[in-house]
Amino acid sequence: MLPPMASAPPISPALPDSTGHFGTFGGMFVPETLMAPLQELAAAYDKAKNDPAFHAELDALLHDYVGRPTPLYFAERWTEKLGGAKIYLKREDLLHTGAHKINNALGQILLAKRLGKKRVIAETGAGQHGVATATVCARFGMECVVYMGKVDMARQALNVARMRLMGTEVREVTAGQATLKEAVNEAMRDWVASVGHTHYILGSALGSHPFPMIVRDFQRVIGIEARRQILEKEDRLPDLLVACVGGGSNAIGLFHPFLNDADVRMVGVEAGGDGIIPQRHAARFQGGKLGVLQGTKTWLLANDDGQIELTHSVSAGLDYAAVGPEHAYLQGIGRVEYTYATDNEALAAFKELAHCEGILPALESAHAMAYVSKIAPALPPSTILIANLSGRGDKDVEQASRYLL
């Protein structure tokens, strides 16, 4: 059984503040060259979020092009197998492109249009954000370049092919560990040199202000729908929400509309890799340090000299050294708990959900499912649990098969 949650202050709807801070976290730590475009983006977003026409266009595209609302699915056989809490899955895997990333990419391409930008860049780890960005650029006829680490390109070859088929240039990054952190570095270098005509669609609730706020707001549709759907199905709010946390976009999207509901517990699940061994995991709240990385102040994995440590996860989308600043804030005030699942636990959950429900979760999402598999049997049958199935596992079949078949 989960321990009682410590009392936490109400969440201010005004966060982040005008400087992009969630308490002590967040902010704008970027080269001077990027200050003006970030301020321009913040101003454009402020106008857009108060413009009914913007929301009408976004809502129509989310419905007709992307496939919202996504179902809230009662996982009956999995619930019976585990023998405890009643498990619902928020089916973001059923969206066009196969993951929640399209929610943010679509919102940001509309902002790029408003800003008059004709070229878009992005970074990607698991490839789902890259695919989402390639998709919306094809839809709106914009030039698109996606930066991706060489290691991630090899393990997510299907998504690389999908991006290229939609006309996107995928640029291989070979520096450092050749994963997501290095892809972000290269995308930021590109943006510094091309800010006049380029918009950077950052994929997670990370980076400099206003990106954590913008990405969160475009992903809040997950929690808004889940709240309405569970009230329709159960006539009450859930007891527990669970989501995986890399940068944290799918998790903050589910959690945010419930933050002021004191009786709703929330657990974010990071990548435990091979266990909490230096350089063999990506669980920032397990021995991480406060620092600044790629535009934001947050918890990150670094050595005693402040150098960013290598990370590892079977899941490319969770293999990143820092966590979104709003998650750092929520952990600090005790509103959200953060734990981890190892590679082996995530792979076992991948197989379990496939066997019980005929659903292949993305390996990212499988980390959340691993926690559900562990905690649900210890909870009373009256407990209602919602887990965010943030993406589907088609992209991971070849990799998972090496371990499971």
Catalytic residue set = 101, 123, 390
How far is 31 from 33, CA to CA, in rounded Å?
5
Phi and psi angles of residue 391, each rounded to the nearest 5 degrees, phi first: -165, 160
How far is 65 from 300, CA to CA, in rounded Å?
36
In one letter, which amino acid is 263? D
Place of tokens 């969160």: 216
Structure-token pair, residue 109: 């391409």
How far is 405 from 401, CA to CA, in rounded Å?
5
Nearest to 390 by CA among 321, 333, 323, 318: 318
Q: What 8-state DSSP symbol labels residue 318?
A: G
Nearest to 151 by CA among 270, 338, 317: 317
Which residues on neighbouring strands pair with residue 148, listed in sequence order? 124, 172
In one letter, which amino acid is 4? P
| Contact partners, residue 52, CB within 8 Å, separation at least 6 | none
How far is 371 from 177, CA to CA, in rounded Å?
28
For residue 85, count CB atoms less than 10 angstroms from its CB and return exposed for 0-12, middle for 13-18, buried for 19 or more.
buried
Structure-token pair, residue 113: 């249009």
How far is 25 from 43, CA to CA, in rounded Å?
21
In one letter, which amino acid is 379? L
